[in-house]
Chains A and B, each alone.
Chain A
Amino acid sequence: MISLAGRDILHGWVRFLMTGFGLGLLIGVTLSMAGIYRGMVDDANVLIDNSGADLWVVQQGTLGPYAEPSSLYEDTYCSIIGMAGVARAANVTYLTMQVRHGGGDVRAMVVGVVPGGPGEPGQPGFLVAGRHLTGGHYEVVADVKAGCALGDTVIIRRNRFRVVGLTRRMVSSGGDPMLFIPLKDAQEAQFLKDNDMLLQQRRRTAQNPGFNRPNVPGLLDAIIASQTTSLYVNAVLVQLKPGYAPEAVAKDIQRWQRLQVYTRSQMRTILVDKLIATSAKQIGMFLVILSIVSAAIVAFIIYTMTMAKIREIAVLKLIGTRNRVIASMILQQAIGLGAIGFVVGKIAATLWSPFFPRYVLLEPGDAIRGFIIVMVISVLASILAITAALKVDPAEAIGG
């Protein structure tokens, strides 16, 4: 038996292909939306994995350092490093801000780390060019997504930093590239105030009779000095010695240091389930709407194609064609349209994903799931046309 669907498609293949192409672009958008969600989750995972930490020690009662602000005294790490099971501990600051580079602005997450080699908590895990931070000040290791080259100058707040190293896939949970600078510079960038603010603060402090006591010399200077010196970090990243359970060490730090400690799995939950939850729901809604729109378009196209063949269907029924042959013809066309749409959509999504500002991760599993969903949508969308075709009275071919 010849394939009626195949022959019909071949007969008007240009129109069919163009329709499939249009549908494919819509499917491509849907796949890209799924890819954006996967990219967000992957960014969150990369942030955790590349931090090199087993535990995140943050201010008590906060979800810091990524989901909420957190402040710790910078010497907190000294007491943590001495605890059982802790191999290494390092201060770190995170601040998402606009930095200036090449005459333009770049949105970046500035990470303050203690200069050191790879493997230190908070350091970029690997470099694609240049070297790690070695100097105490004004050096930066940048993610390639920031658009920097070795030797470039990046301006953060009032200071100029020279790019000494480049890394890759080091981005915040929001997809912003990371810039690693020495901790002291990062503290200054995060906590230091501008000159006008400092003058105003000194004036206000001097006007406070509690701070400016004539019979206590040096008190005012000491207070002002403490106000202009930043002694805070956002978190302490901890690496564990082999054989120690993260939960147990976290419990100890929590109990003795009275701080909040998160393990990797807890941090993953914060980033994925809390930080990007709203975005994920938003994307989920888009996916549902796009799926419904795709289904409606396939249904409309197949219905229109079927209605255009109503006389032929009446003739086919009159000459003894079984309903299942006619239903199969329509179903195969719907599936063919869906398959063309999916192939076009997959290619389109792959081609345009590098141009998205955020990382788009097109997982093979999502592609398989997408293909199955497209097929199911195509089958469901053909029901309307099949119902209409099966209702056609063969007597219509005779007329009268």
Chain B
Amino acid sequence: MSGNGIVIEGLQKRYGSGDTLVDALKGVDMQVAPAEVVGLVGPSGSGKSTLLKCLGAVIEPSAGRMRLGEEMIYDGGWKIRDLRALRRDKIGFVFQAPYLIPFLDVLDNVALLPMLAGERNGVARKRAMELLEALDVGHRAKAMPAQLSGGEQQRVAIARALVNHPPVILADEPTAPLDSQRALAVIAILNDMARQYETAIIIVTHDEKIIPTFKRIYHIRDGRTHEEAGEGKSPHELIKTDKA
């Protein structure tokens, strides 16, 4: 793998100790190339959220390796001192609910990230506006988040995740609150953006509507991942595999 993208090898995460020891991740291997969108599915308690938190540099894994592009970020310990800057500049987040900042307008919700990275307000807003227009919500730039529909809010959240051109985006159930049409539209946008910005996107989902759209899917079960091709399989097949 060259350039951007994310590679995970033997990632483990343990909680507690002694009798209360829990192995949430027992050795996860993943590889997502730039411009690729993969699905991450698994039953509740399988370790999806723990994996997402490790990938998002929010919690520290117990063992394994993580590489972001050419940069090793975890190898038995964090290799990066400023995890906050790592999250700001290298990782984009899209959540189940958009979680836009309610007191900032749409434009500043997106421009906030480059501003936090030290970009001048004018430059940050210009970059944000370009993305909003690309996502077809440019006309709502001055609106407050509460004035947007659910689909519009999610597109703004995607713009926010993309605005610093991170090599990887982690999306946690981004289509859960949307109807089929809007959910598929959001996935289409994520695919477009992944191609346009050479971004690796990992989408955690239970959403049967979008599972068939992934070319590759990682199943996570009992803290381990299993990869399989997803496109063309019916959701029922995948969920059956999941339950097996």
Contact = CB atoms under 8 A, between A and B. Distances in A.
* Pairs of residues from A and B, 5 with the lowest C-beta to C-beta distance, nearest first: A400-B49, A320-B88, A11-B103, A8-B103, A395-B58
A393 B83 CA distance: 14
Interface stretch (B109-117, B182-190, B193-201): B109-117
A325 B52 contact: no
Given A320-B88, A398-B56, A312 B172 contact: no
Contacts of A12: 103
B113 A7 contact: no
B95 to A, nearest CB: 6
Nearest to A395: B58
A376 interface: no
Interface residues of A, number: 26
Interface of B: 48-50, 52-53, 56, 58-59, 84-89, 93, 95-96, 99, 101-104, 108, 111-113, 115-117, 121, 144, 160, 172
B217 to A, nearest CB: 19
B103 A10 contact: yes
Contacts of B160: 319
B102 A11 contact: yes
A315 B116 CA distance: 13
Interface in A347-400: 393-395, 397-400
Contact of A320 (B48, B84, B101): B84
8 contacts: A315-B101, A317-B84, A319-B160, A320-B116, A395-B58, A398-B52, A398-B95, A400-B50
Contacts of A393: 58
A241 interface: no
Contacts of A320: 84-89, 113, 116-117
A312 B101 contact: yes
Interface of A: 1-2, 4, 7-8, 10-12, 311-312, 315-322, 325, 393-395, 397-400
Contacts of B59: 395
A400 B87 contact: no
A318 B58 contact: yes
B58 A400 contact: no
Nearest to B50: A400
B99 A315 contact: yes
B206 to A, nearest CB: 12
Contacts of B48: 400
Nearest to B103: A11
Tell me which of A11, A399, A400 has the highest count of chain B C-beta atoms within 10 A of its own C-beta. A400
A318 B93 contact: yes
A1 B99 contact: no
A273 B232 CA distance: 93
A319 B88 contact: yes
A316 B109 CA distance: 10
Nearest to B163: A319
A1 to B, nearest CB: 5
Contacts of B85: 320
A26 to B, nearest CB: 26
A7 B104 CA distance: 6
Contacts of A317: 84
Contact of A1 (B53, B116, B144, B172): B116
B116 A318 contact: no
Contacts of B144: 11
Contact of B52 (A10, A315, A400): A400
Contacts of A316: 101
A319 B159 CA distance: 13
Given A398-B49, A398-B95, A318 B56 contact: yes
A319 B109 CA distance: 11
Given A320-B89, A397-B95, A398-B93, 12 more contacts: A1-B116, A2-B108, A10-B103, A11-B103, A312-B101, A315-B95, A320-B113, A321-B84, A321-B88, A394-B87, A398-B52, A398-B53
Contacts of B117: 320
A111 B87 CA distance: 81
A399 B118 CA distance: 28
B116 to A, nearest CB: 6
Contacts of B88: 319-321
Given A1-B121, A7-B108, A399-B172, A321 B52 contact: no
Contacts of A11: 102-103, 144
Contacts of B108: 2, 7
B115 A397 contact: no
Contact of A318 (B87, B89, B121): B87
A398 B172 contact: yes
A393 B57 CA distance: 12
Tell me which of A7, A311, A319 has the highest count of chain B C-beta atoms within 10 A of its own C-beta. A319
Contacts of A1: 115-116, 121
A259 to B, nearest CB: 74
A7 B103 CA distance: 6
A336 to B, nearest CB: 14
Nearest to B119: A1
B99 A321 contact: no
Contacts of A315: 95, 99, 101
B207 to A, nearest CB: 16
A318 B53 CA distance: 10
A398 B104 CA distance: 21
B95 A322 contact: no
Contacts of A311: 99
Contacts of A400: 48-50, 52-53, 172
B52 A319 contact: no
Contacts of B121: 1-2
A268 B191 CA distance: 85
Given A2-B112, A399-B96, A400-B49, A319 B87 contact: yes
